[in-house]
Amino acid sequence: MATATAARNFSLARLLFGPPLLTADAPHQTINKKVGLAVFASDALSSVAYATQEILIVLAFAGVAAFGLSIPISMAIVTLLIVLTISYRQTIYAYPGGGGAYIVARDNLGEAPAQTAGAALLTDYILTVSVSVSSGVAQITSAFPGVYPYRVEIALGLIALITLVNLRGVKESGRVFAIPTYFFVLLALLMIGAGLVQLAAGTLGASPNTEVVEHTLEPLALFLVLRAFASGCTALTGVEAISNGITAFREPRSKNAARTLIAMSGLLGVLFIGITLLANQIHVVAGESVKETVISQIARTVYGTTPLYYITLMATTIILIMAANTSYADFPRLGALHAGDGFLPKQLTWRGRRLVFSWGIFTLASVASMLIIVFQAETTRLIPLYAIGVFLSFTLSQAGMVVRWRKIGRMKPGEAVQAHGSVMRYDPHWRGKQLVNAAGALMTFVVMIVFAIAKFRDGAWIVVVLVPTLVFVFFRIHYHYRDVAAILSQGARWPSIRRRPVKTVALVDDVHAGTINLINFAKSLGVPWTAVHVAIDPDKAERVKQKWQERVGEEAYLKILTSPYRNLVDPVHKYIEGLLAELPQGYVHVIVGHLVMDNLVEQALHQNAAIALNLALQDLKRVAVTTVPYQLDLHINGNSAREHGLPESATRT
């Protein structure tokens, strides 16, 4: 008995996800700046592992001599990073409740631009998971080439692990990922510092990679440089994450989020410039056919194949995998915002047992896994899909802030206006702040256009088509919810409140303990009722009829419905339609029995016809279906049957 009780009390969900949290615990699930940097900055910081590489891959088409341009290109990207950091810092203070591109565009540009920004961001978050995990796996295969054929399986396993950790809650996932984030930053700075010391001492060697990159060389034209600049701008992905997740920070939220943003941008700029400089000094080999990453080549040049080399690659792999955690923090929140506004299914607003948006997390993991499979976990193949959505959301966010500053400029000193969860107050410095956002909007727009043109044939066309398609779907969902709400709220269409006749039907598959439970429920209603059996098997129908007479008798009439095509649903459906015709203003009450097992595996062994019948009768108006469960404890009943010497058939359901 004790074993059976323990088996019933065991919960796999509790083991994997932890005990459920009260709704009242939500304010206590916020995070401080140190944990916030780990949760929201891992995406941006991890991009230094592949941003320099993407610049060099493009410049390789003009020959190795063009690699020197990667330094001024990286300087230009860091300049854009500074502009975006100042812009998003302004956004954080303007929208203390969360100031992502979706909210800013909705408040200042209108619904269509808002849905476009939302579609771009949701796409970006999905691709962040795919790109980050694929890049992390690339670090593993650089150190251990033998596992390269299994990169897809490794990537899928890592996504499953990240999903599990995030289902345990934002606060707990932040604690899990905080140490690896700072570990990566420390090792990356150590590698750059060691490399610069060797460079100053004249002992820095060259990349040990001897792989030959084969390209059809192109002339070094302006568009090629712009392509390299756009590819390197993948280093800026994740900059907007903190503005989307302000509500996750402790009070004062805006101040803590703004400081975390500045710390993240500072680290990002230093790491990006340092890695690009060392990549040029050691003459790395880069190209789409090169299997070893730039980070691996730098670490191998600086450290050799010492333990520090493998530790650096391990830290890089972990931060790349953790970069996906930024999406797990932001995608469910953004999905919940869309759903709350009626543009995505309402299920995305539901919080799970650990106060996270579980449906959003599952959706993110599922779609990212499909992309991993389709693109075979190849980072370079995924990058063209990645950056367009990022910079589209950047552009719309900055453009929205330009409009907001124009509105503020028209206000009078001391005036304040409530606007969709944020407060607009007159700011005497509005022109300068507007100029910063305008510069950010222009620069990110140029990057987006260059990327779309340069990478269109490589897969960018998918995002160009996907974003408008998602916007169309969002509005179709919105119109559906709007129409449903309009119909339900129209008092003229409400049925009149009065008592109506009801006919009660109890569906019977066999005569056993569960059937008696169903009969007792029907009798408890205190109304006449009819039992119905569908004769899928004529021999069984005769046995059921005989057992009914022996064990139930005159309690109720048993009607047998013929089913020559062995179909359960159609005869019941037709019979109910006939009853409805006899009751033009009444209801038909259908009672269905359901055997409940101890677990899902045992439940799957049964027909579970109650579920199918419930779904099949949904299209009939004035039909109510009640499911009467009968719980079986096989650990007790099965042992009891064997102890009393009953045949095996006596315990079958």
222-225 CB contacts, 8 Å cutoff, 24+ apart: 223/450, 223/454, 224/58, 224/59, 224/61, 224/62, 224/66, 225/69, 225/73
DSSP characters over 38-55: HHHHHHHHHGGGTHHHHH
What's the CA gap between 105 and 244, in Å, rounded? 13
Residue 464 and residue 549 in one domain: no
Is 443 among the domain residues? Answer: no
Residue 513 and residue 642 in one domain: yes
Is it true that the peptide bond before 332 is cis, omega within 30 degrees of 0?
no
Is 428 among the domain residues? Answer: no
* Helix (H) or strand (E) run with residue 176 in it: helix 170-201
Q: Check whether 646 has a pLDDT greater than 90.
A: no
Residue 639 and residue 565 in one domain: yes
User: What integer pLDDT is reported at residue 613 of this predicted model?
Assistant: 83
Residue 284 and residue 201 in one domain: yes
CA distances from 429 to 259, 262, 343, 399, 432 (A): 21, 21, 36, 18, 6
Q: What is the pLDDT of residues 334-369, one digit of tens each?
A: 888 888 888 998 888 877 655 577 888 889 999 999
What's the CA gap between 290 and 277, in Å, rounded? 20
Name the percent of the chain lying above pLDDT 70.
85
What's the CA gap between 46 and 325, in Å, rounded? 11
Is 495 among the domain residues? Answer: no
Q: What is the pLDDT of residues 522-555, one digit of tens each?
A: 989 988 899 999 988 888 889 988 888 888 877 7
User: What integer pLDDT is reported at residue 42 of this predicted model?
Assistant: 78
Residue 627 and residue 569 in one domain: yes
Q: Residues 590-615: what's their mean pLDDT?
A: 79
Is 442 among the domain residues? Answer: no
193: alpha, beta or left? (left if phi > 0; alpha if psi -120 to 50) = alpha
Closest CA to 227 of 439, 70, 64: 70
User: What integer pLDDT is reported at residue 431 of this predicted model?
Assistant: 92
Q: Which two tokens stand for residue 306?
A: 């010492």
* Helix, coil or strand: residue 644: coil
Residue 59 and residue 140 in one domain: yes
- Place 317 in a pLDDT band, splitting at 50, 70 and 90: confident
Closest CA to 242 of 128, 109, 99: 99
Answer for the pair 416, 425: CB distance below 8 angstroms, yes or no.
yes
Residue 164 and residue 243 in one domain: yes
CATH number of the domain at 182, please. 1.20.1740.10
Decide which of 614 and 640 is more confident.
614
Is 11 among the domain residues? Answer: no
Residue 222 and residue 356 in one domain: yes
Q: Check whether 648 has a pLDDT greater than 50.
A: no
User: What integer pLDDT is reported at residue 278 of this predicted model?
Assistant: 93
Residue recorded with tokens 């064997």: 642
DSSP state of 233: G
Residue recorded with tokens 């203070």: 93
Listing from the earlier edge strand, what are the strands of the sheet with 587-596? Answer: 558-562, 529-535, 502-507, 587-596, 623-631
CATH number of the domain at 623, please. 3.40.50
Answer for the pair 256, 89: CB distance below 8 angstroms, yes or no.
no
User: What integer pLDDT is reported at residue 513 of this predicted model?
Assistant: 87
Q: What is the pLDDT of residues 167-212, one digit of tens each?
A: 776 555 556 667 888 899 999 999 999 999 999 998 888 877 655 5
Is 310 among the domain residues? Answer: yes
b/e map of 626-638 (b: 16 or more CB within 10 Å)? Answer: bebebebbeeeee
User: What integer pLDDT is reported at residue 238 of this predicted model?
Assistant: 78
b/e map of 374-397 (b: 16 or more CB within 10 Å)? Answer: ebebbbbbbbbbbbbbbbbbbbbb
Q: Check whether 386 has a pLDDT greater than 90.
A: no
What's the CA gap between 174 and 311, in Å, rounded? 22
Is 492 among the domain residues? Answer: no
Q: What is the pLDDT of residues 499-512, one digit of tens each?
A: 888 999 999 988 88
Is 323 among the domain residues? Answer: yes
What's the CA gap between 171 and 245, in Å, rounded? 13
User: What integer pLDDT is reported at residue 16 of this predicted model?
Assistant: 52
Tell me which range, 96-110, 309-323, 375-389, 506-520, is most confidently predicted by mean pLDDT: 506-520
Q: Check whether 645 has a pLDDT greater than 50.
A: no
Q: Check whether 20 has a pLDDT greater than 70.
A: no
Q: Which amino acid is at 298?
A: I
- The C-alpha angle with vertex 56 and arms to 51 and 60, in degrees rounded to 5, equals 155
Q: What is the pLDDT of residues 59-82, one digit of tens each?
A: 888 877 788 899 999 999 999 999
Residue 130 and residue 43 in one domain: yes
Residue recorded with tokens 């205190």: 526
Residue 262 and residue 134 in one domain: yes
What's the CA gap between 235 and 271, in Å, rounded? 10
Read off the pTM.
0.71
DSSP characters over 388-409: HHHHHHHHHHHHHHHHHHHHHH
How does strand 529-535 pair with strand 558-562?
parallel
Q: Which residue segment(s) compose the domain that 89 sits in?
A: 30-393+451-481
Residue 143 and residue 231 in one domain: yes
- Place 323 in a pLDDT band, splitting at 50, 70 and 90: confident
User: What integer pLDDT is reported at residue 73 of this predicted model?
Assistant: 94
* Count of the separate structural domains present in the chain: 2
- Place 11 in a pLDDT band, splitting at 50, 70 and 90: low
Q: Which two tokens stand for residue 72?
A: 């001024």
Residue 242 and residue 294 in one domain: yes
Backbone φ, ψ for residue 589 (5° rounding): -105, 115
Closest CA to 84 of 331, 445, 404: 445
What's the CA gap between 310 and 291, in Å, rounded? 16
